[in-house]
Structure 1
Amino acid sequence: MKRNVKRIVKRTAVSIYSAVLFFMINTKQIDASSFASSKLATGTTKLIADVTTWAMGTSIAAIILIAIYFWLRKSGANDQEQARWDKALKRILICVVGIGTTSAVINLLLSYYK
Structure 2
Amino acid sequence: MKRFYKKTISILTIIFYILLQNTFVFAINLQNSKIAKGFENLVKDATSLLMLLAPIVGGLLIGYFFLRKSGADEMDQKTWQKRINTAIYSVVGVVVSSALINLIIGYFA
TM range (shorter): 0.7 to 0.9
Of all paired residues, the percent bearing the same amino acid is 31
Matched, 1:79 2:78: no
Q: Deviation string for 1:25-49 (max 9, x for gaps)?
A: 2323332xx3323443233212210
Query: Contact 1:36/1:42 (CA < 8 Å) preserved in 2?
Result: yes
Matched, 1:50 2:50: no
Matched residue count: 109
Alignment of 1:30-109 (within 5 A): 30-31=27-28, 34-109=29-104
Match of 1:27 in 2: 24
**Aligned letter for 1:29?**
F
Query: Contact 1:70/1:88 (CA < 8 Å) preserved in 2?
Result: yes
Mapped to 2, the partners of 1:108 and 1:3 lie a distance apart of: 60
Q: CA deviation at 1:2?
A: 9.3
Mapped to 2, the partners of 1:85 and 1:29 lie a distance apart of: 57
Q: Structure 2-normalised TM-score?
A: 0.82
Point out where structure 2 has 5 or more consecutive residues left out of the alignment.
none
Q: Structure 1-normalised TM-score?
A: 0.79
More contact order relative to length (CA 8 Å, sep ≥ 6): 2
Q: CA deviation at 1:113?
A: 2.1
Root-mean-square deviation (Å): 2.2
Point out where structure 1 has 5 or more consecutive residues left out of the alignment.
none
